[in-house]
Amino acid sequence: MTGRQWQPPRLRLFEAAHRRATWLELLYDLVFVVAVAELAAVYAAGSLLVFAGLFVPVWWAWAGYVFYANRFDTDDVSHRLLALPQILAVATMAASAGDIEHRSGLFAVSYAVARLLLVVAYVRAGRHVPEARPLTTRYAIGFSIAIAVWLASLAVDPPQRYALWAVAVVIDLATPLFTRGHQGRLPPQTEHLPERFGLFVVIVLGEVVAAVVLGLKGHDVTPGVLLVALAGVAIAMGFWWLYFGHLDESVVLRTRLAGQVWVYSHLPLSLGLVAFGVGIEHAITHPSGTSASVGVPAALVLAMLGVQHLCSRDRRAGAIRLLAAALALAASLLPVAAALPVLLLLAAAQVTYDVLRPLPERDPSPERDPSPERDPSPERDPSPERDPSPERDPAPEEAA
Protein backbone atom coordinates (compact mmCIF):
# COMPACT_ATOMS: atom_id res chain seq x y z
CA MET A 1 0.00 0.00 0.00
CA THR A 2 1.16 3.54 -0.70
CA GLY A 3 1.54 6.15 2.01
CA ARG A 4 -1.60 7.82 0.77
CA GLN A 5 -3.58 4.63 1.32
CA TRP A 6 -2.34 4.02 4.86
CA GLN A 7 -1.49 7.06 6.95
CA PRO A 8 -1.17 7.74 10.68
CA PRO A 9 -3.59 10.27 12.17
CA ARG A 10 -2.47 13.87 11.87
CA LEU A 11 -3.75 17.10 13.31
CA ARG A 12 -6.07 18.73 10.76
CA LEU A 13 -7.01 21.86 12.67
CA PHE A 14 -4.53 24.37 11.30
CA GLU A 15 -4.40 23.31 7.68
CA ALA A 16 -5.01 26.11 5.21
CA ALA A 17 -6.95 23.96 2.73
CA HIS A 18 -10.73 24.28 2.80
CA ARG A 19 -12.35 21.16 4.28
CA ARG A 20 -15.64 19.62 3.31
CA ALA A 21 -17.40 16.50 4.55
CA THR A 22 -15.82 13.39 3.08
CA TRP A 23 -17.75 10.61 1.35
CA LEU A 24 -17.11 8.44 4.41
CA GLU A 25 -18.68 11.05 6.67
CA LEU A 26 -21.73 11.20 4.41
CA LEU A 27 -21.98 7.40 4.54
CA TYR A 28 -21.73 7.61 8.32
CA ASP A 29 -24.61 10.09 8.33
CA LEU A 30 -26.69 7.75 6.19
CA VAL A 31 -26.99 5.14 8.93
CA PHE A 32 -28.27 7.83 11.26
CA VAL A 33 -31.10 8.53 8.82
CA VAL A 34 -32.27 4.99 9.59
CA ALA A 35 -31.61 5.35 13.31
CA VAL A 36 -33.61 8.58 13.53
CA ALA A 37 -36.47 6.98 11.61
CA GLU A 38 -36.54 4.08 14.07
CA LEU A 39 -36.56 6.47 17.02
CA ALA A 40 -39.38 8.43 15.43
CA ALA A 41 -41.36 5.20 15.19
CA VAL A 42 -40.76 4.63 18.90
CA TYR A 43 -42.18 8.07 19.66
CA ALA A 44 -45.09 7.56 17.28
CA ALA A 45 -45.98 4.45 19.26
CA GLY A 46 -46.46 6.64 22.31
CA SER A 47 -43.18 6.08 24.15
CA LEU A 48 -41.97 9.65 24.70
CA LEU A 49 -39.54 8.85 27.52
CA VAL A 50 -38.11 5.87 25.65
CA PHE A 51 -37.69 8.02 22.54
CA ALA A 52 -35.86 10.76 24.43
CA GLY A 53 -33.76 8.28 26.38
CA LEU A 54 -32.57 6.49 23.25
CA PHE A 55 -32.11 9.64 21.20
CA VAL A 56 -29.34 10.91 23.49
CA PRO A 57 -26.88 8.01 23.00
CA VAL A 58 -27.68 7.84 19.27
CA TRP A 59 -26.90 11.54 18.85
CA TRP A 60 -23.85 11.23 21.08
CA ALA A 61 -22.48 8.38 18.98
CA TRP A 62 -22.78 10.63 15.93
CA ALA A 63 -21.23 13.64 17.67
CA GLY A 64 -18.29 11.60 18.96
CA TYR A 65 -17.22 10.60 15.47
CA VAL A 66 -17.75 14.16 14.20
CA PHE A 67 -15.35 15.68 16.72
CA TYR A 68 -12.72 13.01 16.18
CA ALA A 69 -12.89 13.52 12.41
CA ASN A 70 -12.75 17.28 12.84
CA ARG A 71 -9.33 16.96 14.45
CA PHE A 72 -7.74 13.81 13.06
CA ASP A 73 -9.56 12.52 9.96
CA THR A 74 -7.16 11.38 7.22
CA ASP A 75 -9.73 9.29 5.28
CA ASP A 76 -7.11 6.62 4.70
CA VAL A 77 -7.46 2.85 5.01
CA SER A 78 -6.79 2.76 8.76
CA HIS A 79 -9.34 5.49 9.46
CA ARG A 80 -11.95 3.69 7.38
CA LEU A 81 -11.29 0.40 9.14
CA LEU A 82 -12.19 2.10 12.43
CA ALA A 83 -15.14 4.09 11.07
CA LEU A 84 -16.95 1.44 9.03
CA PRO A 85 -17.42 -0.94 12.00
CA GLN A 86 -18.90 2.01 13.88
CA ILE A 87 -21.49 2.28 11.13
CA LEU A 88 -22.37 -1.38 11.65
CA ALA A 89 -22.66 -0.83 15.40
CA VAL A 90 -24.98 2.15 14.94
CA ALA A 91 -27.07 0.16 12.48
CA THR A 92 -27.46 -2.52 15.17
CA MET A 93 -28.50 0.17 17.64
CA ALA A 94 -31.15 1.30 15.17
CA ALA A 95 -32.39 -2.27 14.75
CA SER A 96 -32.64 -2.62 18.53
CA ALA A 97 -34.42 0.66 19.24
CA GLY A 98 -37.80 -0.41 17.89
CA ASP A 99 -38.04 -3.31 20.34
CA ILE A 100 -35.95 -2.00 23.22
CA GLU A 101 -37.89 -4.01 25.80
CA HIS A 102 -36.50 -7.25 24.37
CA ARG A 103 -33.31 -5.93 22.75
CA SER A 104 -31.93 -3.59 25.38
CA GLY A 105 -28.87 -5.80 25.82
CA LEU A 106 -28.12 -5.66 22.10
CA PHE A 107 -28.53 -1.89 22.12
CA ALA A 108 -26.08 -1.53 25.02
CA VAL A 109 -23.47 -3.79 23.41
CA SER A 110 -23.80 -2.00 20.06
CA TYR A 111 -23.33 1.41 21.64
CA ALA A 112 -20.37 0.14 23.67
CA VAL A 113 -18.73 -1.22 20.51
CA ALA A 114 -19.19 2.08 18.67
CA ARG A 115 -17.63 3.99 21.55
CA LEU A 116 -14.83 1.44 21.98
CA LEU A 117 -13.82 1.93 18.36
CA LEU A 118 -13.75 5.67 19.01
CA VAL A 119 -11.52 5.12 22.04
CA VAL A 120 -9.13 3.04 19.91
CA ALA A 121 -9.05 5.88 17.37
CA TYR A 122 -8.21 8.42 20.09
CA VAL A 123 -5.48 6.22 21.55
CA ARG A 124 -3.97 5.85 18.10
CA ALA A 125 -4.20 9.60 17.49
CA GLY A 126 -2.46 10.30 20.78
CA ARG A 127 0.34 7.97 19.80
CA HIS A 128 0.99 9.72 16.48
CA VAL A 129 0.19 13.32 17.50
CA PRO A 130 2.12 14.03 20.73
CA GLU A 131 0.66 17.51 21.24
CA ALA A 132 -2.82 15.96 21.28
CA ARG A 133 -1.91 13.23 23.76
CA PRO A 134 -3.14 15.01 26.93
CA LEU A 135 -6.57 15.49 25.33
CA THR A 136 -6.85 12.06 23.72
CA THR A 137 -5.75 10.31 26.91
CA ARG A 138 -8.45 11.98 28.98
CA TYR A 139 -11.06 11.26 26.35
CA ALA A 140 -10.00 7.62 26.21
CA ILE A 141 -10.17 7.26 30.00
CA GLY A 142 -13.55 8.97 30.41
CA PHE A 143 -15.19 7.18 27.50
CA SER A 144 -13.77 3.84 28.63
CA ILE A 145 -15.34 4.28 32.06
CA ALA A 146 -18.69 4.96 30.38
CA ILE A 147 -18.26 1.87 28.20
CA ALA A 148 -17.61 -0.22 31.31
CA VAL A 149 -20.88 1.02 32.84
CA TRP A 150 -22.79 0.22 29.65
CA LEU A 151 -21.43 -3.32 29.69
CA ALA A 152 -22.06 -3.67 33.43
CA SER A 153 -25.72 -2.88 32.76
CA LEU A 154 -26.00 -6.30 31.08
CA ALA A 155 -25.76 -7.88 34.53
CA VAL A 156 -29.11 -6.43 35.63
CA ASP A 157 -32.58 -6.30 34.12
CA PRO A 158 -34.66 -3.24 33.28
CA PRO A 159 -35.44 -0.80 34.81
CA GLN A 160 -32.17 -1.02 36.77
CA ARG A 161 -30.38 -1.43 33.44
CA TYR A 162 -31.75 1.90 32.24
CA ALA A 163 -30.54 3.59 35.41
CA LEU A 164 -27.00 2.43 34.64
CA TRP A 165 -27.41 3.72 31.10
CA ALA A 166 -28.25 7.13 32.51
CA VAL A 167 -25.08 7.06 34.64
CA ALA A 168 -23.00 6.06 31.63
CA VAL A 169 -24.46 8.83 29.47
CA VAL A 170 -23.70 11.40 32.19
CA ILE A 171 -20.08 10.21 32.27
CA ASP A 172 -19.90 10.44 28.48
CA LEU A 173 -21.38 13.94 28.47
CA ALA A 174 -19.19 15.13 31.32
CA THR A 175 -15.87 13.84 29.95
CA PRO A 176 -15.30 16.77 27.55
CA LEU A 177 -16.17 19.22 30.32
CA PHE A 178 -13.11 18.16 32.30
CA THR A 179 -10.68 18.77 29.43
CA ARG A 180 -11.15 22.51 28.99
CA GLY A 181 -7.50 23.52 29.11
CA HIS A 182 -6.43 20.81 26.66
CA GLN A 183 -9.23 21.61 24.24
CA GLY A 184 -8.02 25.20 24.23
CA ARG A 185 -4.79 24.11 22.58
CA LEU A 186 -6.63 22.10 19.92
CA PRO A 187 -9.64 24.19 18.89
CA PRO A 188 -12.10 22.73 16.38
CA GLN A 189 -11.90 23.65 12.71
CA THR A 190 -14.58 26.24 12.19
CA GLU A 191 -15.52 25.50 8.59
CA HIS A 192 -15.91 21.74 9.01
CA LEU A 193 -17.80 21.53 12.32
CA PRO A 194 -20.83 23.73 11.48
CA GLU A 195 -21.22 21.87 8.18
CA ARG A 196 -21.36 18.53 9.99
CA PHE A 197 -23.95 19.74 12.50
CA GLY A 198 -25.94 21.30 9.69
CA LEU A 199 -26.03 17.96 7.88
CA PHE A 200 -27.55 16.30 10.94
CA VAL A 201 -30.19 19.03 11.07
CA VAL A 202 -31.00 18.18 7.45
CA ILE A 203 -31.40 14.54 8.47
CA VAL A 204 -33.94 15.30 11.17
CA LEU A 205 -35.78 17.80 8.96
CA GLY A 206 -36.12 15.00 6.44
CA GLU A 207 -37.89 13.01 9.12
CA VAL A 208 -40.64 15.66 9.14
CA VAL A 209 -41.27 15.07 5.45
CA ALA A 210 -41.18 11.29 5.99
CA ALA A 211 -43.70 11.59 8.82
CA VAL A 212 -46.05 13.61 6.61
CA VAL A 213 -45.82 10.98 3.87
CA LEU A 214 -46.56 8.19 6.34
CA GLY A 215 -49.51 10.12 7.71
CA LEU A 216 -50.99 10.67 4.27
CA LYS A 217 -50.48 7.02 3.32
CA GLY A 218 -52.60 5.84 6.23
CA HIS A 219 -55.40 8.38 5.94
CA ASP A 220 -57.93 9.60 3.40
CA VAL A 221 -56.57 12.72 1.75
CA THR A 222 -59.30 15.28 2.34
CA PRO A 223 -58.76 19.05 1.88
CA GLY A 224 -58.44 19.46 5.65
CA VAL A 225 -55.88 16.67 5.96
CA LEU A 226 -53.91 18.03 3.04
CA LEU A 227 -53.81 21.48 4.64
CA VAL A 228 -52.46 20.00 7.87
CA ALA A 229 -49.76 18.14 5.95
CA LEU A 230 -48.75 21.18 3.89
CA ALA A 231 -48.69 23.38 6.98
CA GLY A 232 -46.39 20.91 8.74
CA VAL A 233 -43.93 20.84 5.84
CA ALA A 234 -44.08 24.64 5.49
CA ILE A 235 -43.28 25.11 9.19
CA ALA A 236 -40.36 22.69 8.85
CA MET A 237 -39.12 24.76 5.90
CA GLY A 238 -39.32 27.80 8.16
CA PHE A 239 -37.17 26.01 10.73
CA TRP A 240 -34.68 25.19 7.97
CA TRP A 241 -34.54 28.83 6.91
CA LEU A 242 -34.07 30.09 10.45
CA TYR A 243 -31.27 27.61 11.17
CA PHE A 244 -29.26 27.82 7.96
CA GLY A 245 -29.79 31.55 7.63
CA HIS A 246 -27.78 31.81 10.82
CA LEU A 247 -24.88 29.38 10.50
CA ASP A 248 -22.21 31.29 12.41
CA GLU A 249 -18.91 29.44 12.03
CA SER A 250 -17.07 31.65 14.50
CA VAL A 251 -19.28 30.60 17.40
CA VAL A 252 -17.50 27.25 17.83
CA LEU A 253 -14.38 29.09 18.98
CA ARG A 254 -16.12 31.21 21.58
CA THR A 255 -15.34 30.43 25.18
CA ARG A 256 -16.82 30.80 28.66
CA LEU A 257 -20.14 29.23 27.57
CA ALA A 258 -21.13 30.24 24.07
CA GLY A 259 -19.26 27.64 22.03
CA GLN A 260 -20.19 24.63 24.12
CA VAL A 261 -23.80 25.79 24.52
CA TRP A 262 -24.03 26.06 20.73
CA VAL A 263 -22.80 22.48 20.39
CA TYR A 264 -25.01 20.97 23.08
CA SER A 265 -28.08 22.91 21.93
CA HIS A 266 -28.17 20.71 18.84
CA LEU A 267 -29.27 17.76 20.96
CA PRO A 268 -32.64 19.24 22.07
CA LEU A 269 -32.93 21.00 18.70
CA SER A 270 -32.67 17.71 16.80
CA LEU A 271 -34.92 15.94 19.27
CA GLY A 272 -37.54 18.68 18.89
CA LEU A 273 -37.47 18.49 15.08
CA VAL A 274 -38.05 14.73 15.10
CA ALA A 275 -40.84 15.09 17.65
CA PHE A 276 -42.43 17.85 15.54
CA GLY A 277 -42.52 15.52 12.54
CA VAL A 278 -44.20 12.80 14.57
CA GLY A 279 -46.63 15.40 15.90
CA ILE A 280 -47.61 16.39 12.37
CA GLU A 281 -48.20 12.74 11.52
CA HIS A 282 -50.42 12.49 14.60
CA ALA A 283 -52.25 15.68 13.59
CA ILE A 284 -52.97 14.19 10.15
CA THR A 285 -54.46 11.03 11.61
CA HIS A 286 -56.24 12.82 14.49
CA PRO A 287 -57.08 16.32 13.22
CA SER A 288 -59.62 16.91 15.98
CA GLY A 289 -57.13 16.28 18.80
CA THR A 290 -55.03 18.72 20.78
CA SER A 291 -51.95 20.32 19.33
CA ALA A 292 -49.49 19.65 22.17
CA SER A 293 -47.66 17.12 20.01
CA VAL A 294 -46.76 19.87 17.52
CA GLY A 295 -46.79 23.00 19.70
CA VAL A 296 -44.39 21.76 22.37
CA PRO A 297 -41.74 20.46 19.92
CA ALA A 298 -42.04 23.64 17.86
CA ALA A 299 -41.49 25.70 21.01
CA LEU A 300 -38.40 23.62 21.84
CA VAL A 301 -36.97 24.13 18.35
CA LEU A 302 -37.58 27.89 18.42
CA ALA A 303 -36.09 28.16 21.91
CA MET A 304 -32.90 26.38 20.81
CA LEU A 305 -32.65 28.59 17.74
CA GLY A 306 -32.93 31.56 20.07
CA VAL A 307 -30.18 30.19 22.30
CA GLN A 308 -27.94 29.76 19.26
CA HIS A 309 -28.52 33.39 18.28
CA LEU A 310 -27.57 34.46 21.80
CA CYS A 311 -24.38 32.40 21.52
CA SER A 312 -23.52 34.53 18.47
CA ARG A 313 -24.32 37.72 20.39
CA ASP A 314 -27.31 38.45 18.16
CA ARG A 315 -29.46 39.39 21.12
CA ARG A 316 -32.38 40.91 19.21
CA ALA A 317 -32.91 37.86 17.01
CA GLY A 318 -32.39 35.61 20.02
CA ALA A 319 -35.07 37.44 21.98
CA ILE A 320 -37.46 37.18 19.02
CA ARG A 321 -36.90 33.42 18.77
CA LEU A 322 -37.49 32.97 22.49
CA LEU A 323 -40.66 35.06 22.34
CA ALA A 324 -41.85 32.96 19.41
CA ALA A 325 -41.10 29.83 21.46
CA ALA A 326 -43.32 31.11 24.28
CA LEU A 327 -46.13 31.84 21.81
CA ALA A 328 -45.74 28.39 20.24
CA LEU A 329 -46.00 26.81 23.67
CA ALA A 330 -49.19 28.76 24.31
CA ALA A 331 -50.54 27.66 20.93
CA SER A 332 -50.16 24.04 22.01
CA LEU A 333 -53.28 24.55 24.13
CA LEU A 334 -55.36 25.24 21.01
CA PRO A 335 -56.97 22.72 18.67
CA VAL A 336 -54.82 21.58 15.77
CA ALA A 337 -56.83 23.61 13.25
CA ALA A 338 -56.03 26.79 15.18
CA ALA A 339 -52.50 25.99 16.37
CA LEU A 340 -50.95 25.17 12.99
CA PRO A 341 -51.80 28.57 11.43
CA VAL A 342 -50.31 30.24 14.50
CA LEU A 343 -47.09 28.22 14.20
CA LEU A 344 -46.92 28.89 10.48
CA LEU A 345 -47.40 32.61 11.09
CA LEU A 346 -44.67 32.62 13.72
CA ALA A 347 -42.23 30.90 11.37
CA ALA A 348 -43.13 33.14 8.41
CA ALA A 349 -42.83 36.32 10.48
CA GLN A 350 -39.35 35.38 11.66
CA VAL A 351 -38.20 34.46 8.17
CA THR A 352 -39.51 37.81 6.93
CA TYR A 353 -37.68 39.58 9.74
CA ASP A 354 -34.43 37.82 8.86
CA VAL A 355 -34.79 38.69 5.18
CA LEU A 356 -35.53 42.37 5.75
CA ARG A 357 -33.21 43.21 8.63
CA PRO A 358 -29.60 44.29 8.01
CA LEU A 359 -27.04 41.60 8.64
CA PRO A 360 -25.65 41.76 12.19
CA GLU A 361 -22.01 42.66 12.50
CA ARG A 362 -19.92 39.74 13.70
CA ASP A 363 -17.33 40.37 16.37
CA PRO A 364 -14.12 39.08 14.76
CA SER A 365 -12.51 38.45 18.14
CA PRO A 366 -14.23 35.75 20.22
CA GLU A 367 -14.11 35.89 23.98
CA ARG A 368 -10.83 35.03 25.59
CA ASP A 369 -10.50 32.15 27.97
CA PRO A 370 -8.93 33.44 31.18
CA SER A 371 -8.20 29.91 32.35
CA PRO A 372 -4.73 29.61 33.96
CA GLU A 373 -4.36 26.28 32.20
CA ARG A 374 -3.95 28.09 28.88
CA ASP A 375 -0.52 27.27 27.50
CA PRO A 376 0.89 29.11 24.50
CA SER A 377 2.88 25.95 23.71
CA PRO A 378 6.12 27.65 22.63
CA GLU A 379 7.56 24.32 21.55
CA ARG A 380 4.95 23.86 18.81
CA ASP A 381 6.53 23.45 15.41
CA PRO A 382 5.69 26.66 13.49
CA SER A 383 5.29 24.84 10.20
CA PRO A 384 3.13 26.36 7.44
CA GLU A 385 0.39 23.83 8.14
CA ARG A 386 -0.14 25.06 11.69
CA ASP A 387 -0.87 28.46 13.10
CA PRO A 388 1.44 29.08 16.09
CA SER A 389 -0.33 32.29 17.03
CA PRO A 390 -1.08 32.43 20.78
CA GLU A 391 -4.16 34.53 20.01
CA ARG A 392 -6.16 31.58 18.71
CA ASP A 393 -9.12 31.20 21.01
CA PRO A 394 -9.68 28.04 23.01
CA ALA A 395 -12.23 25.53 21.90
CA PRO A 396 -15.63 25.00 23.42
CA GLU A 397 -16.17 22.02 25.66
CA GLU A 398 -17.61 20.04 22.85
CA ALA A 399 -19.60 16.84 22.65
CA ALA A 400 -16.81 14.57 21.65
Predicted confidence band of residue 359 (pLDDT cuts 50, 70, 90) = low
| Range with top average pLDDT, 153-167, 280-294, 358-372 | 153-167
Beta bridge partners of 335: 290
Question: 113 near 85, Cβ under 8 Å?
Answer: yes
Interatomic CA distance for residues 183 and 188, integer angstroms: 8
pLDDT digit string, tens, across residues 180-203: 666 667 777 777 888 999 999 999
Residue 155 Cα distances to 104, 148, 165, angstroms: 12, 12, 12
Interatomic CA distance for residues 395 and 209, integer angstroms: 35
Predicted confidence band of residue 141 (pLDDT cuts 50, 70, 90) = very high
Q: What is the pLDDT of residue 35?
A: 95
Q: Which has the minimum average pLDDT: 35-39, 238-242, 355-359?
A: 355-359
DSSP labels, 77-96 = HHHHHHHHHHHHHHHHHHHH
pLDDT digit string, tens, across residues 14-35: 666 677 888 999 999 999 999 9
Q: What is the pLDDT of residue 255?
A: 55
- 103-120 in b/e burial notation, b at 16+ Cβ within 10 A? bbebbbbbbbbbbbbbbe
Interatomic CA distance for residues 283 and 331, integer angstroms: 14
The contacts of residue 3 (CB under 8 Å, 6+ apart) are none
Q: Give the amino acid at 97.
A: A
Q: What is the mean pLDDT of residues 91-101?
A: 94
Predicted TM-score (pTM) of the model is 0.85
The contacts of residue 302 (CB under 8 Å, 6+ apart) are 242, 321, 322, 324, 325, 328, 346
Interatomic CA distance for residues 132 and 182, integer angstroms: 8
pLDDT: is 252 or 119 the higher one? 119
**Does position 396 have pLDDT exceeding 50, yes or no?**
no
